[in-house]
Amino acid sequence: MLKKSTWPRAITVGTLALAAATFLAACGGTKPASTVSGTTASAGTSTSNGATDLAALSAVVAKYKQAPTTIPISTPLKQAPAKGKTFVFLQCDVAQCAQLSKAFTAATAAIGWELKVIPYKSADPATLISGLRQALQYNPVAVGVTGIPGVVWQSEVPAYEKAGVPIVVGHIGPQAINNTIIANINDEQSVQATAEALAAYFIVNSEGKGKILQFQVPDFPILDAFDKAFRAKVQASCPGCSVTPLTGTISQVTSGGSTAAIVSALQRHPEVDWVVTDNGPWVAGLPAALEAAHLKVKVIGAGADVATETDIKAGKATAFTGVALNYSAWAMLDAVLRHLEGTPISASEGLLPIQLLTKDENFAVSESYDEPADYAAQMEKLWHVGA
């Protein structure tokens, strides 16, 4: 269990269970485009009148239901990277971090670099601090950090600045970028895009009058960013919709208690017919619990894992986006390469490939969303390596 007492009070607790940035889709497909007028009483906001442009939102849904064919990065490096460098990855103790290590292994091998992996414990930030100090002993060309927000380990940044070693981060939520912390993969722009896709899907498929329970865990910065973006998009685009927030705790989601909390909230709010979560693993077992409670609710969200994607295939979950973990490792390394050769890091560097995964879409069940399928070959071409 993560312990809040070990974190600065100003930031969220814990290590983003890394599946933070991606979500789901629905049974029955997209509804015909039309315009719906209505009133909404979103949690914590005043009622407003207006019209929902379902035609425009349907176009957003159509865009995100297509599997991407190109990676978000398009500018080649000036030349192939010099071989023989060392890159260090600080690996947390959740499954997604292990997946990232595998991806870094492939990415560093493609350019002839050595990868050093230093594990740390998510519930004990002191192990990350010691890992960052150990990393400098390898004389690395750069270090990668995911999961824990920068405010927790900012005490180590001056040492990296003095050593001239850049840090590249990913999946940590909002982060200021400078000459030492050079890029943030799965950044706010990427989170906003994910929220837009899921909000549009919900609005269109509820015909502009859906009532949704938002299960949120704001102690994780990247998840909090998604929660706010999703809620804002619905409130701005669908006056006939309503959002009822349900806040979960870290102890609750790490002990499997979120399912019972969601079912209980739905029983208190029988008018609610949708649920959105900011992370797929939080709703493990929810479809079965909904069936047992005789609740007919569509489940969507971000951060689909294998269990969630399996539920989508079976029609038990409606729509999610997956997390492009493998691609994000390659993108983190790409940012390092650009920094080292003085090539500007583009605004699209932090974006992840995004797709709405629904029962009617053909997608592979995997811990990492790997579209485009040739993402590695596309990246190698930009790096002037590979076939």
Domain boundaries, the chain: 12-69+190-322, 86-187+324-349+368-383
pLDDT value of residue 131: 98
pLDDT value of residue 28: 26
pLDDT value of residue 50: 63
Give the bridge partners for 145, in sequence order. 90, 169
Q: Which one-letter DSSP state was computed for residue 301?
A: E
Q: Residue 56 CB: number of other CB atoms within 10 A?
A: 13
Which residues of the chain fall below pLDDT 70? Answer: 1-50, 387
Residue 171 to residue 17: CA distance in whole angstroms: 9
pTM (2 decimals)? 0.83
Residue 227 to residue 367: CA distance in whole angstroms: 22
Q: What CATH number should be reported for the domain whose range is 12-69+190-322?
A: 3.40.50.2300
Pairing of β 114-119 and β 274-277 = unpaired
Copy the structure tokens of residue 10. Answer: 């100003």
pLDDT value of residue 4: 32
Which one, of 182, 120, 128, lies nearest residue 331 by Cα? Answer: 182
10-67 pLDDT, tens digit each: 333 333 333 333 222 222 232 222 223 222 333 332 234 467 899 999 999 999 999 9
pLDDT value of residue 29: 30
Q: Judge whether 70 and 99 are in contact, CB under 8 Å.
A: no
Q: Quick check: helix, strand or coil at residue 245?
A: strand
Domains 12-69+190-322 and 86-187+324-349+368-383 share a fold: yes
Counting Cβ atoms within 10 Å, is residue 289 exposed (0-12), middle (13-18) or buried (19+)? middle
Q: Order across the sheet with 242-247: list the strands.
A: 242-247, 211-216, 274-277, 298-304, 319-322, 356-358
- Helix segments in 137-176, DSSP class H: 150-153, 157-163
Q: What CATH number should be reported for the domain whose range is 86-187+324-349+368-383?
A: 3.40.50.2300
Checking 48-53 for CB contacts under 8 A at 24+ apart, the result is 48/239, 49/239, 50/239, 51/239, 52/203, 52/208, 52/237, 52/238, 52/239, 52/240, 52/241, 53/237
pLDDT value of residue 80: 97
Residue 241 to residue 238: CA distance in whole angstroms: 5
